Amino acid sequence: MSAVEIPIGDASFVGRFLRYVDPVSGEWTGYRDDDGYGIFTWPGPAGERVKFRAHRVAWAIAHQAQPTGVIRHGCDHPPCCRPGCLKDGTQADNIADRDDPRRRHARRAAAIAAAGQQVLSLAFGP
């Protein structure tokens, strides 16, 4: 990623960015990296291709500010660009969040529910 400022004052940047955000789910519909994060490419000050992480851009547009730390997903869904899901924090917060037993429990419960659905559809059809 780059240290280039996110050009939140550029209407063509913001307009193009928003075209890649699903208006219903808030998900990034453009290119995603191997970790599932949306990537938005835009020319930098020297005309070079700058890659921005989409959720950082979403946070910056929503807050009209440059993010100072790690932008975290409250929803644990990397392609999500909903401003309400995004929090500015530090890497330490990020790790604390991940290790929070309530969140671990929630993820485990979701995995069990998904596995349960699969078992049910095998037993009773889709």
Determine, following the binding rule CB under 5 A, whether residue 56 of this chain makes contact with Zn ion: no
> Least CB distance from residue 24 to Zn ion, whole Å?
12
Between the CA of residue 107 and those of 28, 81, 102, 111, 112, what are the distances in Å?
Answer: 22, 20, 9, 6, 9
Question: What are the respective helix, strand and coil percentages of the chain, to the nearest 5?
Answer: 45, 20, 40
Find the binding residues for Zn ion in span 61-120 (CB under 5 A).
Answer: 75, 77, 80, 82, 85
- Please say which residue, 6 or 54, places its beta carbon nearer to Zn ion: 54
Determine, following the binding rule CB under 5 A, whether residue 58 of this chain makes contact with Zn ion: no
> Least CB distance from residue 18 to Zn ion, whole Å?
16
Q: Of 52, 51, 50, 61, whose CA–CA distance to 86 is shortest?
A: 61
> Least CB distance from residue 36 to Zn ion, whole Å?
12
> Least CB distance from residue 47 to Zn ion, whole Å?
33
Are residues 27 and 45 in contact, defined by beta-carbon separation less than 8 angstroms? no
Tokens of 99: 């290790």
Q: How many positions of this chain bind Zn ion (CB under 5 A)?
A: 5
Q: Which residues bind Zn ion (CB under 5 A)?
A: 75, 77, 80, 82, 85
